[in-house]
Amino acid sequence: MTTNDLPRWATAVALPLLNLLSALLVAALVIHLLGEDPVESMHILINSAVVNPEGLSYTLFYASTFVFTGLAVSLAMHAGLFNIGAEGQMYLGGLGITIAMLAFDATLPWYLLIPAGMLGAALFGALWAFVPGYLQAKRGSHIVVTTIMFNYIASQLMNFVIVKFLIPAGEQNTASRVFSQAAEMPRLSDWFPVLGDTPLNVSFFLAIIALVIYGVMVSRSSWGYKLRAVGLNKHAAHYAGVKISAMIVVTMLISGALAGLGAVNSIMGSTHYLSLNFVGGAGFIGIAIALMGRQHPVGIFLSAVLFGALTQGGFDLSLEKPNIPPEMVIFIQGLIILFCGAMEYLYAPVLAKLLKGKQA
């Protein structure tokens, strides 16, 4: 049995789990070198992010954003495109929300205002992804290079727009004004008081709906079949009648829209204003989620929850363990990307040999 002949459960479940455990073992070694107990540190992290109801609420809040960025990267991957631009697309999604809010939050009721903000987020995110998609489809410009460039352009553009046009007169904070109460996404703590005063909101359910739609579109539709055909073999897909250029552009538009929608949870569900660094690396975390989740909706959800738990638990861990810096969370995320991305088939030969011996 070769690594290409591994059963689906091995590639979809066993390998990601082995890679995750390897990343955590390396992180445990580093924590030990920092002079702290890895087992106690893991206990603090799990208790803060999962066991405590308020901590779990924050974990799911972060996961709601990560699901959208993970979906954005995953959808592009199915077409053979490595969209590293979810960070910039989410930035522009936040700008789309803000423009809609500043224009209509004083006049529209909440049931029209919230959809308007979501539409603005999706539209601006899609438009920001259009140019890299077009350049890839029509000019052969590599999507990795253009999306990285557009991340930098987006951050600088946001800085200019906020400072030049959005800061209220007399304010020093680099942020827009606070939106009206009608623009706030309903919080789940209003219905489930046990969650405490946390920002977890209905964006969590929107993320679940997005996962279901993604799964159906990719695996159960003719468009999804064409999408995966382009990702597997562009030449074969072309001879089968698929318009490659159109598929690339449309895929990037949808990918950008999903990344833009990631801003809904952060802005309309939490801060209620546009700030300079509201993305906080969520676009790059989406890359790790797509790799670890193997572009499957269930895998994306579980990976998003894992990274949400790392974000929430890592904050409390750094407070209780002074020797562990807050950057440890970023380090662990990097390890997961390393093992689940660049070294994703590290254990495949060993697993193939074990399965072959079991069948003999």
Confidence of residue 197 (pLDDT cuts 50, 70, 90): confident
Confidence of residue 4 (pLDDT cuts 50, 70, 90): low
Q: Tokens 């020093």 label which residue?
A: 172
Spatial contact of 125 and 261, defined as CB atoms under 8 Å apart: yes
Spatial contact of 256 and 143, defined as CB atoms under 8 Å apart: no
> How far is C-alpha 339 from the geometric centre of its chain's CA atoms?
18
Residue 84 has pLDDT above 90, yes or no: yes
**101-to-90, 182, 264, 267 alpha-carbon distances in Å:** 16, 10, 12, 11
Helices (H), 162-296: 203-219, 222-232, 234-239, 244-263, 282-292
Rounded Cα–Cα distance for residues 336 and 344 (Å): 10
Q: What is the pLDDT of residues 31-58, one digit of tens each?
A: 999 998 999 999 999 999 999 999 999 9
| Nearest alpha carbon to residue 46 among 67, 68, 24 | 24
Mean pLDDT of 111-133: 97
Rounded Cα–Cα distance for residues 95 and 38 (Å): 41
Spatial contact of 81 and 73, defined as CB atoms under 8 Å apart: no
Q: Which of 5-19, 25-39, 163-177, 259-273 is most confident?
A: 259-273
CB atoms within 10 A of CB 34: 15
pLDDT value for 151: 96
Mean pLDDT of 184-199: 90
Confidence of residue 323 (pLDDT cuts 50, 70, 90): confident
Mean pLDDT of 139-148: 93
Q: What is the distance between the terminal CA atoms of the chain, rounded to a whole angstrom?
A: 11
Mean pLDDT of 309-318: 88
Residue 1 has pLDDT above 70, yes or no: no
Q: What are the two backbone dihedrals, phi and then psi, of residue 302, each rounded to the nearest 5 degrees?
A: -65, -40
CB atoms within 10 A of CB 309: 22
| Nearest alpha carbon to residue 267 among 201, 207, 173 | 201
Rounded Cα–Cα distance for residues 61 and 63 (Å): 5
Q: What is the mean pLDDT of the chain?
A: 91
pLDDT value for 3: 53
Confidence of residue 333 (pLDDT cuts 50, 70, 90): confident
Q: What is the pLDDT of residues 344-357, one digit of tens each?
A: 778 888 888 887 77
Confidence of residue 319 (pLDDT cuts 50, 70, 90): confident
**Surface-to-core class of residue 306, CB atoms within 10 Å of its CB (0-12 exposed, 13-18 middle, 19+ buried):** buried
Q: Which of 32-36, 153-157, 258-262, 328-332 has the lowest mean pLDDT?
A: 328-332
Q: What is the pLDDT of residues 255-293, one digit of tens each?
A: 999 999 999 999 999 999 999 889 989 999 999 899 888
pLDDT value for 20: 87
Rounded Cα–Cα distance for residues 174 and 176 (Å): 7
Residue 359 has pLDDT above 70, yes or no: no
Q: What are the two backbone dihedrals, phi and then psi, of residue 203, each rounded to the nearest 5 degrees?
A: -60, -25
Q: Which residue has the higher pLDDT, 211 or 343?
A: 211
pLDDT above 90: percentage of residues in the chain: 71
pLDDT value for 360: 57
pLDDT value for 169: 85
Element (H, E) at 137: none
pLDDT value for 314: 87
Q: What is the pLDDT of residues 212-257, one digit of tens each?
A: 999 999 999 999 999 999 999 999 999 999 999 999 999 999 999 9
Spatial contact of 182 and 109, defined as CB atoms under 8 Å apart: yes
Q: Which residue has the higher pLDDT, 314 or 146?
A: 146
| Nearest alpha carbon to residue 128 among 162, 79, 87 | 87
SS (H, E, C) 265-283: HHHHHHHCCCECCCCCCHH
Structure token pair of residue 122? 């999706």
| Nearest alpha carbon to residue 106 among 162, 171, 183 | 183
